[in-house]
Every structure is written in C-alpha cells, then in structure tokens.
Amino acid sequence: MLQLLLQIYVAFALLLFTGLLALDARGLLKREGQGRESRAGYAPRVLVMMPCKGSDIGLYRNLRAAGRQSYRNYRLVAVLDKGDSAHGVVARAGVSHIDSDAECRRCSGKVRALATAMERFRGYDIYVVLDSDELVARGWLERLVAPFADRSVGASVMFPVFKPVDGSFWSHTKRVWGFVGQSLMESGITRFVDGGSFAFRASLMDRKALEFFKDSRYSVSDDICINTIVRRSGLAIAYDNAHHPTTQVRETFATFWEWANRQTALALFAYRRMLYYGLAYYLSEAVVFATGVVGAALVSPLFALMLAHVAISFANNERRIGRDGSPAATAAATVLLPFIYSVNLVVASRMGYITWRGTRYRLY
C-alpha cells in the first residue's frame, strides 16, 4: 500500500513538473512589452506628481533626477503633508511642492496627495505618478509618455527593480521577490498599473472617477484605483520591459517580511482569486523542488532532472539582475521564494489591516 501511495505521489509530482516546464516555455515565448520610440512631434502636456513622506534612501538624488528629464513639456510637483520632514530635502533639491489637503474619508495618505495635485492642476494631457524612492534615468519620462501617441492606450507603466545597498540576504531576496511583478507585466492579460512609476490619460480622471479614486473601498491604494479606472475605460496598459527605475533597499528579515506581507495583502484585496492561483503555483514549485532533492538523494539521480524548473528560474533571475548581483544569494533566494510566497499568501489572506509609513489602514 505504501509503495502504491509513493508511486501516486511521484506521478503527481511529475505532472506538476511538466506543467511548470510548460509555463516556463510559454513565458519565454510570450514575453511582451517592449518600449516604444517617441513619435516625432508628439509632446503632450504632462504633470509628474511625486508624493513624499519622510526620508527615503536617496530622496534628494531621486528628486533631482525627476527634475532633469530629456522630455521638456512637463511640470514636476512634490506633494507633502504639512510639516513633514521631507520639506527640507524637497526645497534643497529645487523642486516645487504643495501641501496635501484633499478631502476624503477612506483614502490613504498617498491617494490624498495625488488627489490634491489632480484637483489643483488642470489642463494637462497626461498625469504621471512617481514614488519618491525611485531613481529614474534622464529618458524615463519620454519613454513613459511615448505609448500615448496610440489612442488605444490608457496607461503606461515602468516596473521598478530593487537594488540592494548592503550585503543583506534579505535585500537580495526582495530584489528577486519583485521579479514576480515583472513577469506579470510581460503579459497583456496579467498586466496592471503599478503605483511606483506609471502614467495615465488625464481625461480618464473626470469628476466621477476622481470621487471613486478618493472614496471607494479601494482608496487605500492608488494603483488599484487607477488600474480599475483604466480597465473600465476599455483602454490598454502599455509596458516598457527594457527600462526600469531603481529603488534602493536595505532590508532586515523583519522589514522584508512586513513589506512582503503588506504587498501581498494589497494584491489579494484587489484580486482575491490570486490567493488560490498563487497557492496552486507556488506550492507546486515547492513540491517539485522537494521531490527532486529527496528523490535524487534517496531513490535515483534521475530525480535531479526535476530541478530543471528551479534552474530556469535562477537563469531568468540572473538575466534580470545582470552583473550587479550575487549569484549565490540569487540561487538561495530562488530556492526559498516559493515557500516564502506561499506563506505570504496565507498570512496576507488573514490581514484585515495594513500599516504603511506609520498609518494603519483597514482593508476589510
């Protein structure tokens, strides 16, 4: 009986392994989202909104980079809470700013800041959101705006990459953790508006949409609200997978764990079905990996072939990181992340609240 159960288990693990390889192949063949060249003469009026709260790593440098773009027809404005410690850095960087004062009942501080800017600055063609912890290249805005020359595009996204500024394993793990978002962006089906660096047509933010943005059940998250508005419009979301802003990170296990669970909780808040899809996928990865290791050690070296999926994931992660990384840390993170993701999903599914920059927000 035990032998039969083991045979059934191995057959099941092989089935999961085959499915993972099929998804790997599809991912390699279906990568989408190349950047678009700017169309000659296309230069819509752009407002770049940069909410700031506290002191992010490299805040001064990030502000200066946002204010020195090759694209010319834009205005940069930082939005801050009155009395916030970031005021001094913003002034030193020479960036104009306003204080956040929009009226909303359920919104987060970031949504309130963005709503303040959109209410105050009218007459723009494109609104851009840039997080204060992101460093952008000189051509960032030009590439972000270029897709709007196509009238079928409602939003444009550049997904950030995390760059460790220390040797912490958890900083490297956060970098690899973030590659899941890049993978989702590379398919038009799973693509979404991410709150770190995105643009959308100002015409989408009419009075009704602005009220939804400020006072819907999703107003705890700016990207969930904007994603919903764009999807309802029937317009496409463009993605540039060739260029990425960078976010410097310095993580301990505690800070990484809090961040990963919060990000997962927000994702589940917007798309509850991700709980089941995510658990099915990441537990499959964990089962296949464990079967490959244990089977190779106790039964036959042929079981090591089941580690091919992990090898492909590692190669993809190394390709995304390039030379600026530690292969050993990347390999360890690649092995551990299916287990970490699975626990994130379980923990996040039970979170009714999140805490962000000292403020507690209710999700359910």
Measured CA to CA, the distance from residue 183 to residue 113 in angstroms comes to: 29
Instruction: Indicate whether 66 belongs to any domain.
Output: yes
Residue 28 has pLDDT above 90, yes or no: no
Helix 253-270 vs helix 169-177: crossing angle, to nearest 10: 20
Is 24 in the same domain as 54?
no
**227 and 279 both lie in a single domain:** no
Range of the domain at 155: 46-267
CA atoms within 13 A on the CB side of 209: 20
Where residue 264 falls among pLDDT bands split at 50, 70, 90? very high
User: Has residue 308 been placed in a domain?
Assistant: yes
**In this model, does residue 265 exceed pLDDT 80?**
yes
Judged by DSSP in three states, 248 sits in strand
Q: Is residue 4 part of a domain?
A: no
Burial of 141 (0-12, 13-18, 19+ CB in 10 A): buried
284-316 per-position pLDDT tens digit: 999 999 999 999 999 999 999 999 999 999 999
Is 2 domain-assigned?
Answer: no
Question: Are both 20 and 68 inside the same structural domain?
Answer: no
Instruction: Give the pLDDT confidence score for residue 27 in this predicted structure.
Output: 67
- pLDDT band (50, 70, 90) for residue 29: low
Identify whether residues 250 and 272 lie together within a single domain.
Answer: no
**Chain mean pLDDT for the chain:** 91
Task: List pLDDT tens digits, range 92-128.
Answer: 999 999 999 999 988 999 999 999 999 999 999 999 9
pLDDT in tens, 42-67: 899 999 999 999 888 899 999 999 99
Looking at residue 40, its pLDDT comes to 64
Query: What pLDDT shows up at residue 69?
Result: 97
Q: Is 182 inside any structural domain?
A: yes
Q: For position 187, what pLDDT does the model report? A: 78
Domain match, 291 and 322 both = yes
Residue 94 has what pLDDT?
A: 95
Residue 160 lies in a domain: yes
Residue ending a domain, among 220, 237, 267, is: 267
Residue 281 shares a structural domain with residue 307: yes
CA dist 201 and 205 (Å) reads 8
Query: In this predicted structure, what is the pLDDT of residue 207?
Result: 94
The enclosing domain of 137 has a CATH number of 3.90.550.10
Domain limit, last residue, from 206, 234, 267 = 267
In a domain, 40, yes or no: no
Q: Please give the Cα distance from 272 to 267 (Å, whole number).
A: 8
Alpha-carbon distances of 336 from 23, 172, 227, 308, rounded to whole Å:
19, 12, 30, 15
Please give the share of the chain, as a percent, with pLDDT higher than 90. 75
Full-model pTM: 0.90
Q: Determine the pLDDT at residue 325.
A: 80
Same structural domain, 255 and 275:
no
Q: What is the mean pLDDT of residues 128-148?
A: 96
CB atoms within 10 A of CB 7: 10
**Does the pLDDT of residue 32 top 90, yes or no?**
no
- Reported as a single tens digit per residue, the pLDDT across 181-227 is 888 888 778 889 986 899 999 999 999 999 999 999 999 999 999 99
Give the per-residue pLDDT at 31: 59
Percent of residues, the chain, with pLDDT higher than 70: 96
Residues 157 and 286 in one domain: no
Helix (H, G, I), strand (E, B) or coil at 246: strand
> Which residue bears the tokens 């059934």?
8
Shared domain check, 272 and 261: no
Q: Per the structure, how many domains does the chain have?
A: 2
C-alpha distances in Å from residue 94, one per residue of 84, 185, 196: 17, 34, 22
Q: Does 221 reside within a domain? A: yes
CB 265 within 8 A of CB 254: no
Do both 87 and 166 map to the same domain? yes
> Which pLDDT does position 235 carry in this prediction?
96
The Cα–Cα gap between 13 and 270 comes to 31
Q: Quick one: 211 and 276 in the same domain?
A: no
Q: Where is the domain boundary, 267, 295, 316?
A: 267
Q: What is the mean pLDDT of residues 335-342?
A: 96
Query: Is residue 233's pLDDT more than 90?
Result: yes
